[in-house]
Amino acid sequence: MTAQGRGRSREQWGYVPYLLPGLLLFTAVIGVPFLMNIGTSFTEWTGVGTPKWIGLGNYRELVQDGEFWASFEHNALIILGMAVVPTLIGLVLAAALTDLIGRHFGPRTASVLRACVYLPQVLPIVIAGVVWSWLLAPEDGAVNVLLGKIGLGSLAHDWLGDPATALWSVIGVMVWIQIGFPLVIFMSGLQRVDPSLYEAAEIDGATWARRFWHITIPQIRPEIFVVLLWTTIAALKAFAHIFVLTKGGPGGATNVPAYYSWTSFFEKSEVGYGSAIATVLTLLIVALTIVFLRLQGRDLGEER
Amino acid sequence: MTATLPKKSSAPPRAGRDAPHRRRRGPSAYAVLVALAAFAGVMLIPFVVVVFNALKTPEELTSHGPLSPPDGFNLDTMRAFWERTDFGHVLLNSVLISGSVAVLAVLLSVLNAYALGIGRIKGRMWVLVLLLMANTVPQEALVYPLYYLSKQVGLYDTRLSVIIVFTVIQSAFGTYLMASVLSAFPRPLLEAARIDGAGRWQVLWRVVVPVVRPTLSVLLVFFFVWTWNEFLIPMTFLISNENQTVSVALGVLHGQKLMDTTMSSAASLLGLLPTVVFFLIFQRTLSRGLTAGAIK
């Protein structure tokens, strides 16, 4: 802040009341419970009775828990399946639906296609898991039947049961679930763009690829950052997809950190240890969030 | 991609209803349409499977497997599920909870984002990091503390407790998205309004909200759907039958292995229809922004 700093800071104070409801509710619903969670992480507790204080015991155990850290490797691939690939596909689809389909075949056609792609987001994950386990079933699953019909029967196998393909199959299902999320956000962002911008560019002979790169991407930059960070966080917390499809198996091939946390809390009744895992996971994600928001601030700041 | 012909130089040969606006559709445009329609079709396959099984009798299922089309239109399974779970009541709870959360969380997001994105208050990044923690903290870590807190304030086993919790959790995303969108908001528009004598409150509702309305509708839809499908916190907080939500009813029955395949398909179909309807209704709001932008 420079010469005009003082005037600006007084001006800023006028906006603080708008934050108060959010901050108050946050403190009650997330802030205090998270501090309680940190407190619990220093104890040994089964969820009932009196917690026993053990200091850093849970954290010491966690550092040495090789399986926990190994499960982070799967997270790298899950980020690919839940964040990177859906964002890329979503960008191309959003641009194609807005720039090509919307303008040549009418917004209604674009809306129908968008609805189809968004639909998997509506399906409860429990149900999605059940349906996909039918489709990927080893004997009469649709995927294997289809492969047989087009003469690739030799490729058919137990997709979720084979450690070599289980994680990739889960990632495939995640891509299917996720695409609708970036698509809808990107399309809503593109509605801020003046359509005459595209028309002018088209008249000037700009190809679709050039319009994508020079109009679509710059215009929805804020949305791209938001979607990438959000889906990455979701990937780091990914649990339900894994739980319903493979339960972390076969042989830990699809295990993820969030699954550890959940099983400690609700299956093994090691609430203290579960709290420690949740705390570590939260701090890791917060650190990532800070790095990401810094990058975003720098990138968006340059434009102004 | 081949260049399309310039506008207005020739009338499009295959004119649609509002033809003057549209360019000639080259073969490449049709190729893209076909490709996208095929892609959309593949996305829908799992839903077709759900509908197939929801309409089958258990006997059909055992003889033909889960992937064959049903012989007839059998609604008995759906009716049985409806009666067994008192589904009308459960549905009402879900609509009440998800609807309230969607509206309240959008409101909270807008207020937060106005201070962060337009007000650009000092330390906004740290406030944002803090508010985003509503999403970063794993929900399982919140279950025990929230259980004790809600018992203390007498909100345990009330729908209000779930509404409050999810308003905060969902608004994290709304705050972030809106703050990012609003920090790129055209400044001249704001300054013009301020010069005309509009206060912050009026600027928010008369200038900012109308421009970002399409994004707000997206948030509304997302919050509704996300809250609808939430399972863990509603299950631990709404223990009495009269407060149950659709996803809890589904999940509990599924977990107890009380449902065969046809029953769980029928249940899924009944459970996801309201969210689909909700999305389809709001599709219109999503596109309204397009026309508003075109007039400008």
pLDDT in tens, A17-50: 999 999 999 999 999 999 999 999 999 888 888 8
Nearest-by-Cβ selection for B214 from A21, A123, A188: A188
pTM of the predicted model as reported, rounded to 2 decimal places: 0.84
Which two tokens mark B235? Answer: 């299950």
Assigned token pair, B97? 């909870």
Q: Residue A48 corresponds to which tokens in the numbers above?
A: 């009932």
Mapping DSSP onto H, E and C, the string for B55-93 reads: CCCHHHHHHHCCCCCCCCCCCHHHHHHHHHHCHHHHHHH
Give pLDDT, residue B259.
65
Of A100, A145, A179, the CB nearest to B29: A100
Alpha helices in chain B (DSSP H): 27-54, 58-64, 76-85, 87-113, 124-136, 139-152, 159-183, 187-195, 200-202, 209-211, 213-229, 232-237, 246-255, 261-295
Q: What is the mean pLDDT of residues B253-274?
A: 76
In a domain, A39, yes or no: no
Residue keyed to tokens 């407060």: B243
Q: Is the pLDDT of residue A4 over 60?
A: no
- Residues 257-276 of chain A with CB under 8 A from chain B are 258, 261-262, 265-266, 271, 274-275
DSSP at B185: S
pLDDT category of residue A6 using cuts at 50, 70 and 90: low
Comparing A2 with B73, the larger pLDDT belongs to B73
Distance to chain B for A30, nearest Cα, Å: 6
**Domain total in chain A:** 1
Confidence check: pLDDT of A303 > 50:
no
Maximum distance among all Cα pairs of chain A, rounded to whole angstroms: 74
Written as one letter, the residue type at B96 is L
| Within a domain: A28 | no
Contact between A118 and B183 using a beta-carbon 8 Å cutoff = no
| Residue A11, domain member (yes or no) | no
Query: What band does B112 get if pLDDT is binned at 50, 70 and 90?
Result: very high
Host domain of residue A285: 57-303
What's the CA dihedral at A76, A80, A83, A86 to 10 degrees? Answer: -170
CA-based radius of gyration for chain B: 24
ipTM for this model: 0.84
Residues B192-242: tens digit of each pLDDT: 998 988 889 999 998 899 888 888 988 998 899 999 988 888 988 888 888
Size of interface A-B (CB pairs under 8 A): 311
CATH, domain range B77-295: 1.10.3720.10
Is the CB of B251 less than 8 angstroms away from the CB of A126? yes
**How does pLDDT run across A238-270, given as a tens digit for each residue?**
877 787 787 777 777 777 888 888 888 888 888
Contact between chains at B214 and A132 (C-beta distance less than 8 A): no
Whether residue A299 lies inside any domain: the answer is yes
**Structure-token pair, residue A287:** 């650190």
Domain boundaries, chain B: 24-74, 77-295
Q: Are B120 and B185 in contact (CB under 8 A)?
A: no
Q: What does the alpha-carbon distance between residue A159 and residue A135 come to, in Å, rounded to a whole number?
A: 10
d(CA B283, CA B277): 10
B108, A106: Cβ pair inside 8 Å?
no
- pLDDT confidence tier of residue B276, bands split at 50, 70 and 90: confident
**Amino acid, res. B27:** P
Instruction: Reduce the DSSP state of residue A44 to 3 states and report it.
Output: strand
The reported pLDDT for the residue numbered A29 is: 94
Of A36, A222, A289, which is closest to B145 when you measure between CB atoms?
Answer: A36
- Kindly provide the b/e burial profile for residues B53-82, where b requires at least 16 CB atoms within 10 angstroms of the residue's own CB: bbbbeeebbeeebbbeebeeebeebbeebb
CATH, residue A151: 1.10.3720.10
Q: In B256-270, which positions are buried (b, 16+ CB within 10 angstroms) versus exposed (e)?
A: eeebebbbbbbbbbb
Cis peptide before A17 (omega within 30 of 0): no
